[in-house]
Amino acid sequence: MFTTDRTEFIGRNGTLRNPEAMSRASFPEKQERRLIPCAAIQVVFDLETEEEHEIVFRLGTLREHEGNSNDDPRCIKERHLHMMHLDKVKKYWQHTLGVLQIETPDAALNIIFQWLAQYQTLACRIWARSGFYQSGGGFGFRDQLQDVLSLMYSRPAIAHKQILLNASRQLKKETHNIGGIRQPEEEYVQPVSDDFLWLPFVTLKYVSHTGDTGILDESVSF
């Protein structure tokens, strides 16, 4: 059962915190564009003690082409089933984020360490090149090397790829990378470790952890 009428869902004297629909047994199944729109779907089921029940809602759009069987909802479902790999996605993240586990008296710390921090490192920093403090798509030389240190146990192949990528971004001897800006030798005042420390440091950590000494024989141009 469903309705697309927001007024009907909220009710005359109801609010979003306490909509009238929550005390109703059913909706009259309105589907009109002229109404104040909403998408409210109602499913009724019984639960026994300790029983679980999963409900999945799929929302989409249909093109209004009469006589075109490809726009039939059943055809759309079949056409897009191959794109739905939710189980694979879940397994990927369970494996990636489940390698390292800690147990401390602080539940919030456990969650941050085991799930949020590693997820943000891979999804936000490595893939999306973004993050809470660097959301402009930057790809810092030192930053990304530091980030992949946390992936040595769960995704060492990503660390391997990042090391070679950074190796291809070396600067000429007469320039230095300060805060992401190349500066000539005569303007180079503040010593930084980005170019000189982090690439060999992370490479050493990678070789020590994986035993993959072959990365030392890789040839990368810059």
pLDDT tens per residue, range 62-102: 555 444 555 555 566 666 665 666 778 888 888 888 888 88
The identity of residue 209, as a single letter, is H
The pairing of beta strand 37-41 with beta strand 181-184: unpaired
Cβ atoms of residues 62 and 46 within 8 Å: no
Highest mean pLDDT: which range of 69-83, 100-114, 134-148: 100-114
The predicted pLDDT at position 144 comes to 84
pLDDT above 90 coverage of the chain, percent: 16
- For the chain, how many residues are written? 222
Provide the token pair at 222: 């810059």
Mean local confidence (pLDDT), 129-144: 69
The predicted pLDDT at position 180 comes to 47
* Location of structure tokens 């030192």: 142
Q: Is 175 exposed, middle or buried (0-12, 13-18, 19+ CB in 10 A)?
A: middle
The identity of residue 93, as a single letter, is W
Distance CA 8, CA 30 (A): 9
Q: Annotate 69-103 with b (16+ C-beta within 10 A) or e (fewer).
A: eeeeeeebeeeeeeeeeeeeeeeeeeebbeeeeee
